[in-house]
Structure 1
Amino acid sequence: MVFQLKNPIILALDIDSKSEVTHLGKILGPQVGALKVGPRIVVRYGAEVVSQLAKSAPVFVDLKFLDIPSTMVSSVKAAFDAGASMATVHGWAGAEALEELARVEKELNKMRPFIILVVTILTSFKEDGLPPGMIKKSIKDHVMALVDSAYKCGLRGFVCSPEEATMIKEKYSDVFLVTPGVRLPDDEKGDQKRVTTPAEAIKNGSSALVVGRPIVESKNKQEALEKYLRSIPS
C-alpha cells in the first residue's frame, strides 16, 4: 500500500467553532493535502464534522487511540466510517493491537485509501521532560523502538518530529511520515519543542507536514497558507 496526498500540507483545524471549522474546510480544504481534526472539535461535534470536511479534502482524525486491541480496532473503523482517510494510534499499544490494526488497515484499503499513523513521542516533549516511568534513553532511541515495533507488526505510517524523520526514512524507505513541529522562520513556536522549516522537514524525509496556528490564527489565512505552499520544494 502506498498512501499519497496531493501536497504535503495538513491543515490542523484546532479551533472550537464548528461553523469556522467547516468554513475553513470549504475555503482552504481544496488547496491542502488534508484537514486534521482532534479531540477539541471531534468531542464537541462528533462524526458529523468529519463527514462534512471529507467533502472538501481527505480528513485526518487525530485522536491518538490507546486502549485494548478490540476497542482500538473499533475506534479506527468508526473514524473510517465517518469519512477519515487518516487516523492516529499510540505506538505504546503493544504488538497484539498493532498487528490487528495492520490487518484492519489492509481491509479498509480495499474500499478507499486509508492509513493508520502510529504516534511515537509527542513533539511537545524534550529530553528532560519525558514521563518519569520511561527508561532513561534519548528521545530518538524511544522513537526508533516504537517505529521498529509497529513496522514489524505491518504498519507503515508514523507521526514523528522532523528531527527523527531522517533516521526513520534511512532505515525504512517505504514509510509515510507525518511531522508536526513545522514552522516558517518568522512563526511563533508555541508549545512545540522540536521544530524545523517545511523545506528542511521534506529534505529530512517527511511525507506530510502538520500546520495549524500559523495559518488558522492568521488575519489573512489564505496568504498564510500560500506562504507555506510556496515553501515546499518542487
Structure 2
Amino acid sequence: MKKNLRAHPMRNPIILALDVDTRDQALKIADDLSEIVGGFKLGPRLCLRYGMEFVKEMAQRGPIFLDNKHFDIPSTMEAAVRASFEAGASLVTVHALSGAEALKRMAAVEKELQSQRPFKILAVTILTSWDQASVPGNMKEQPIAQHVTDLVNLVSSSGLQGVVCSPHELDLLQNRDLYLVTPGIRFSMQDSGDQKRIMGPKEALRKGASALVVGRPILESNNIKETATDFVMAAYEEK
C-alpha cells in the first residue's frame, strides 16, 4: 500500500486497536498485520500489565497510538506524554476536559517533540461508548454534539489540532484543519458492541476523518488478515 498522507503519522488510515490481554497475543497479531494496517492502538489493558518496555517492543512493528487518555494536572500530563514519546508512541491521547492550561502546555510539548520525529497529541472529546442517555448528569444540559463542538473549540484555541471524536460529530468538524481520529468503525451496524455512535469506514472518511480505529471487527473475524485488508481497501477508496 502506498502511504496516505492524510493518515500521518500512521502509515495508512486504519489503526488496529489491540484489545487483547497478553503480550504474546499482541505481538502475534502485530507481526501478522504489520504490513497491512497503518498502526496499532495500545491502552491500559496491555500497558498496565507489561509496561513501557512492551510499548517500545511494539513500536518496532509499526506506529503506535498510545491511548491512556491522560487527565491530570498539567505537569503530570506533560510527564506522561514525554514518557509515551520516549517509548516510541506516534499518537498519544489526553482529555480535552483537562482544560485550557493543560491543553496549552500539551501544544508546546507537541511542537517540541514534533521537531524530533512525527508525533501528535490527540484530545479526547466525548467517549463513543456514551449516548445522550448515558452522559453524566452534570453534562446533560446540552446535546453531545454541542459538548464535542465546545471541547474542540477549546482544543483548537489552545494550539492543538488532533482530536478524537465519534463519527457522528465529523460533519460538525469539517474544514477546520483538524487531524480527526475516529473510533466506533464497523462494516456492520449490527455489531456495535459497547460503542453507541458508530459508522462505516467509507462514510467516516468521506465526512473528514483522518484515521479510523478498528478493533473487534478485525480481531474477532475468522480471517484477521483478510478483514484488515478489507478495511484498508475501503479507506483507500475514499482517500
TM tier relative to shorter chain: over 0.9
Q: Show the 5 A alignment for 1:1-234.
A: 3-170=8-175, 172=176, 174-185=177-188, 188-232=191-235, 233-234=237-238
Residues in 2 aligned to 1:85 and 1:58: alpha-carbon distance in whole angstroms: 6
Residues in 2 aligned to 1:26 and 1:145: alpha-carbon distance in whole angstroms: 40
**Alignment partner of 1:96: what SS?**
helix
Cα displacement string for residues 112-143 of structure 1 (whole angstroms, at most 9, x for unaligned residues): 00000000000011112100111510101000
CA contact (8 A) 1:187 1:214 kept: no
Write the letter of the residue equivalent to 2:130.
F
Residues in 2 aligned to 1:127 and 1:135: alpha-carbon distance in whole angstroms: 8
Shift of 1:187: 5.9
Tell me the TM-score normalized by structure 2. Answer: 0.93
CA contact (8 A) 2:126 2:148 kept: yes
**Alignment partner of 2:174: what SS?**
helix
Residues in 1 aligned to 2:189 and 2:144: alpha-carbon distance in whole angstroms: 26
Q: Which has the higher contact order (CA 8 A, sep 6+)?
A: 2
CA contact (8 A) 2:11 2:37 kept: yes
CA RMSD of aligned residues (A): 1.3
CA contact (8 A) 1:26 1:53 kept: no
Residue number in structure 1 paired with 2:3: none
Residues in 1 aligned to 2:87 and 2:130: alpha-carbon distance in whole angstroms: 31
Structure 2, unaligned runs of 5 or more = 1-5
Following TM superposition, where does structure 1 have runs of at least 4 consecutive aligned residues deviating by more than 2 angstroms? 2-6
Structure 1, unaligned runs of 5 or more = none
Shift of 1:230: 2.3
Cα displacement string for residues 10-32 of structure 1 (whole angstroms, at most 9, x for unaligned residues): 00001001101011112212311
CA contact (8 A) 2:11 2:63 kept: no
Residues in 1 aligned to 2:202 and 2:106: alpha-carbon distance in whole angstroms: 32
Residues in 2 aligned to 1:153 and 1:219: alpha-carbon distance in whole angstroms: 44
Write the letter of the residue equivalent to 1:211.
V
**Alignment partner of 2:67: what SS?**
strand
**Alignment partner of 2:115: what SS?**
coil
CA contact (8 A) 2:71 2:98 kept: yes
**Alignment partner of 1:46: what SS?**
helix
